């Protein structure tokens, strides 16, 4: 049980691990990785029945809950739309996260399905994994809309981390080309339209 509790305590650090993208953008009191995970799991719960055939709601929610567990050890490595801003190369990120998730789940090795959920999500080959990834992107866009509505950042302050994009545009630009499901695209267009109304101009996407 000691190994299990050590892994649990490490995983619970995600409650305090702030999402890197929001930190870089200067968002006031940005969400944690755990908060993002909750939002994503909730989206999976609510929208699985609107997804394409083959999406398993229970598996989607479980997949959402484990998808960022590795970040308890690796930290949140943000995906950037802007050229040259990627802090860690894709292959290196995948290796770091696979090693971390394998080690964190080792005390729970009697439940092999946990690691298979993470592996399936990373591969993006099944309808469920593609849907869950879309809900990951949608959660990010919803959070951007909320931060815009709440005026949680200073858009007049110079920010070299977001030199190519204004306001919270990069978070939409990152999501747009990666969506793979009809429900994801529908939600994205509605959220983007609301975001554009909030800032009173068209996004440069």
Per residue in 67-80, pLDDT tens? 999 999 999 987 76
Locate 16 and state its tokens. Answer: 């305090």
pLDDT digits (tens, 9 = 90+) for 108-136: 877 668 999 999 999 999 999 999 999 99
DSSP state of 48: G
pLDDT digits (tens, 9 = 90+) for 147-202: 999 999 998 998 988 888 999 999 999 999 999 999 999 999 999 999 999 998 54
Host domain of residue 37: 2-199
Is 80 exceeded by the pLDDT of residue 53?
yes
Q: How far is CA 32 from the centre of its chain?
A: 11
* Domain annotation covers residue 108: yes
* Domain annotation covers residue 205: no
* Domain annotation covers residue 34: yes
* Domain annotation covers residue 65: yes
Of residues 63, 94, 65, 60, the one with CA closest to residue 77? 94
**Per the structure, how many domains does the chain have?**
1
């Amino acid at each position: 049980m000691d190994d299990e509790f050590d892994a649990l305590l490490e995983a619970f650090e995600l409650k305090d691990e702030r999402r890197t993208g929001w930190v870089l953008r200067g968002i006031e009191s940005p969400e944690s990785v755990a908060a993002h995970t909750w939002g994503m799991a909730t989206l999976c719960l609510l929208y699985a029945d609107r997804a394409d055939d083959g999406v398993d709601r229970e598996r989607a929610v479980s997949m959402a809950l484990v998808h960022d567990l590795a970040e308890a050890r690796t930290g949140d490595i943000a995906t950037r739309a802007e050229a040259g801003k990627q802090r860690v190369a894709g292959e290196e990120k995948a290796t770091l996260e696979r090693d971390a998730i394998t080690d964190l789940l080792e005390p729970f090795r009697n439940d092999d399905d946990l690691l298979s959920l993470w592996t399936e999500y990373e591969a993006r080959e099944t309808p469920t994994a593609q849907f869950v990834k879309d809900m990951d992107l949608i959660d990010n866009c919803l959070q951007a809309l909320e931060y815009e509505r709440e005026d949680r950042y200073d858009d007049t302050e110079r920010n070299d981390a977001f030199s190519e994009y204004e306001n919270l545009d990069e978070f939409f630009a990152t999501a747009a080309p990666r969506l793979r499901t009809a429900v994801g695209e529908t939600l994205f267009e509605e959220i983007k339209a609301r975001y554009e109304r909030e800032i009173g101009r068209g996004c440069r996407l």
